[in-house]
Structure 1
Amino acid sequence: MSLDGVLMADNSPLILSFGSVNIDLTVGVETLPKAGETQHAGSYTVGLGGKGANQAAAAARLCRNHPIRVALAGRTGTDSFATLARDTLTTFGVECSPLLEDREHATGIALIHVDKRGENCITVVGGANQAVSETDIRVASPLLKTTHVLLLQLECPLPAVLAAAQVAHAHGGLVILDPAPAPEGDLPEELWQNTDIVTPNETETERLTGIRPETPEAAARAAHSLRNKGAKAALIKMGGRGTYWQDAKGEGFIPPFPVNPIDTVAAGDCFNAGLAVALTLNYSLAQAVRFASACGALATTRKGAADAAPTWEEVQNILA
């Protein structure tokens, strides 16, 4: 499938996120805690998280005025957190039919500290996410075979992520991989070969390539390295420095949007969701990266994970 735009086979193209579902427990602190330090926070929030759920929710919010379906495949437990996650996803407009209930594992949770600059540290208890297996692939297979864009992350077991990529790629779907959390070693060659677009942030880029993308020139070298591994295109998310993209046809750099960040937790997930939506709407890759960058920037201006996702109108306003 061309990176110049996902071909719309019918009036209801599908974006499928295959990945993690968490409930996030978030506290705001002055500074991130050091080892052995106890801090007091004035309040906390409980909300939907997990990179799979975040990307699905953000895509669904953007698609409210477009004939695009968004679904999520993965697992929750059968606890109260599972009910909260499913209810919240449904409110966003996400189809949850391929989201399995696991009676043996609890719903995943994330414990998040966010400091006054918007930086964060996160501890994740994977729970049911770590039980995702071939069973989930079989359940999601009808959607994997018909999806226009598949959003993948690395918060579920790697064999399942690879199997999902292989099924979608073999049936013409566009596979977007967010390599987070990036492994200590490289990813399997088979996953690279079934990835159309890889979207690492600065830390993930350095771990996968050995190059810290602090300038567009360094990002270009890193993107070239990622494409040599097998990815068709590489998008380097450089945080407040902007976004660099590269594929076989060209390259480009999107400067950062002028926003005042307060929470960076959801920026990467909203970026990938925006990228999927823009490509489904037949944007060129360059246009899609700019749209995605706007989504990521807007997500930093509010607190939370899925709740930070911008609307279509908000993105259009910042792009104007």
Structure 2
Amino acid sequence: MSDRPPHILSFGSVNIDITARAERIPHPGETVHAASYATGLGGKGANQAAAAARLGQGCGLKVFMAGRTGADQFGTLARSLLTPFGVDLSALKEDPAHPTGVALITVDAKAENIITVAGGANMALDLSDVEAHRPLIHSASALLLQLEIPMAITIAVAEEARRAGTLVVLDPAPAPGDGLPQALWQALDVVTPNETETRLLTGIYPETEKEAAQAALKLHQLGATHALVKMGARGVYYRSGTEEGFVPPYTVKAIDTVAAGDCFNGGLTTALTLGKPFAEAVRYAAASGALATTRLGAAESAPDWQDVVTLVETGTIIDRN
């Protein structure tokens, strides 16, 4: 990757999140009163682009976002919210035939959440988008992918990146119940499932370090060169070739976990693009995810590079509120 201009491409979903905060998450058929609600930027593609861009502002990296929004007010809002992060939106297409994606989120008093997504324009992406952005895919140092656009397009983008030697980082969320297609396993470099996604992909729910190690080995056997098992407040286990290890959780006061996974991937990809060894990059990723939980919101909770470096190197948390 040393010959490439230092930039990252996130190819995926852009949503507007409508987040309600309640004492608890309702049971099926039940209505609960929320104390408040907010509208903000979302979509795993946009969140990861925003996280990487905020980190990149502190270390000289540029981040592009490729995808679609609708030609509607939510599309205009999404663009206006992405711009301050420094994300290059030249590859973000406006689709007049489909609405901007929306995510309906409920967060409870323990910072746990449930999310319902209406994909809209995200699900209208097709091979013309891959063709249009081929030069950007080829020139990127790293590609961030998620599973909130059609699977066939995710595979096509990953294969295009693999042919060019671009590092492919997949957040397998939302994970399909029948696992990932073999074509996608063959085209990715790094896979980063959380506990639920790990269970769907491997049959193992990683509650302990030993179970996470078993799951990481299985992910590696399925085709991932580098496998990370994110266990939330229990830490992260990684396997990269013959190298493996456990990164314990950073101690933070979590108030919102919505974007922790997206900030984890943004931090991981930023660190790898900067040439950090894989084991070290995992620590930067874990710190990015942990810091994201200390602030409300999705993309807006992303930390900056110096905060992450400070947490990794000294264990000190800078007040971000």
TM beyond 0.5 = yes
**How far off its partner does 1:190 sit?**
1.1
1:99-248 mapped onto 2 (5 Å cutoff): 99-248=92-241
What SS does the aligned partner of 2:256 have?
coil
What SS does the aligned partner of 1:47 have?
strand
Percent identical: 57
Counterpart residue number, 2:3: 9
**In the alignment, does 2:260 pair up with 1:267?**
yes
**How far off its partner does 1:248 sit?**
0.9
Counterpart residue number, 1:252: 245
Q: Is the 8 A contact 2:12 2:149 kept in 1?
A: yes
What SS does the aligned partner of 2:34 have?
coil
Note the alpha carbon deviations across 1:110-138, whole angstroms, 9 max, x for none. 01100010000011110001111101101
- Structure 1 range deviating more: 204-213 or 215-224: 215-224
Q: Aligned partners of 1:218 and 1:197: how far apart in 2? A: 19
Counterpart residue number, 2:319: none
Q: Is the 8 A contact 2:147 2:173 kept in 1?
A: yes
Q: Aligned partners of 2:33 and 2:275: how far apart in 1? A: 48
What SS does the aligned partner of 1:314 have?
helix
Question: Which amino acid in structure 1 is aligned with residue 15 of structure 2?
Answer: N
Question: Which amino acid in structure 2 is aligned with residue 251 of structure 1?
Answer: E
Counterpart residue number, 1:68: 61
Q: Is the 8 A contact 1:275 1:288 kept in 2?
A: yes
Question: Which amino acid in structure 2 is aligned with residue 276 of structure 1?
Answer: T
Number of equivalent positions: 313
Counterpart residue number, 2:318: none
Question: Which amino acid in structure 2 is aligned with residue 141 of structure 1?
Answer: R
**How far off its partner does 1:318 sit?**
1.6
Q: Aligned partners of 2:151 and 2:197: how far apart in 1? A: 16
Q: Aligned partners of 1:172 and 1:147: how far apart in 2? A: 9
Q: TM-score of the superposition, structure 2-length normalised?
A: 0.96
Question: Which amino acid in structure 2 is aligned with residue 284 of structure 1?
Answer: P
Q: Is the 8 A contact 2:22 2:36 kept in 1?
A: no
**How far off its partner does 1:42 sit?**
2.4
1:47-62 mapped onto 2 (5 Å cutoff): 47-62=40-55
Question: Which amino acid in structure 1 is aligned with residue 3 of structure 2?
Answer: A
What SS does the aligned partner of 1:304 have?
coil
Q: Is the 8 A contact 1:146 1:168 kept in 2?
A: no
Q: Aligned partners of 2:254 and 2:58: how far apart in 1? A: 27
- From 39, 44, 61, the equivalent of 1:46 is 39
Q: Aligned partners of 1:255 and 1:237: how far apart in 2? A: 11
Counterpart residue number, 1:22: 15
**In the alignment, does 2:311 pair up with 1:318?**
yes
Question: Which amino acid in structure 1 is aligned with residue 305 of structure 2?
Answer: W
Q: Aligned partners of 2:277 and 2:221: how far apart in 1? A: 22
**In the alignment, does 2:64 pair up with 1:89?**
no
Q: Is the 8 A contact 2:59 2:305 kept in 1?
A: no
Q: Aligned partners of 1:265 and 1:65: how far apart in 2? A: 23
Note the alpha carbon deviations across 1:60-113, whole angstroms, 9 max, x for none. 000112221100111100001101111111111001111111111000000110
Note the alpha carbon deviations across 1:12-33, whole angstroms, 9 max, x for none. 4110001100000011100001
**How far off its partner does 1:276 sit?**
0.5
**In the alignment, does 2:274 pair up with 1:281?**
yes
- In structure 2, runs of 5+ residues without a counterpart are 315-321
Q: Is the 8 A contact 1:192 1:230 kept in 2?
A: yes
In angstroms, what is the RMSD of aligned CA positions? 0.9
Question: Which amino acid in structure 2 is aligned with residue 8 of structure 1?
Answer: S
Counterpart residue number, 1:299: 292
Q: TM-score of the superposition, structure 1-length normalised?
A: 0.96
Question: Which amino acid in structure 1 is aligned with residue 149 of structure 2?
Answer: C
What SS does the aligned partner of 2:282 have?
helix
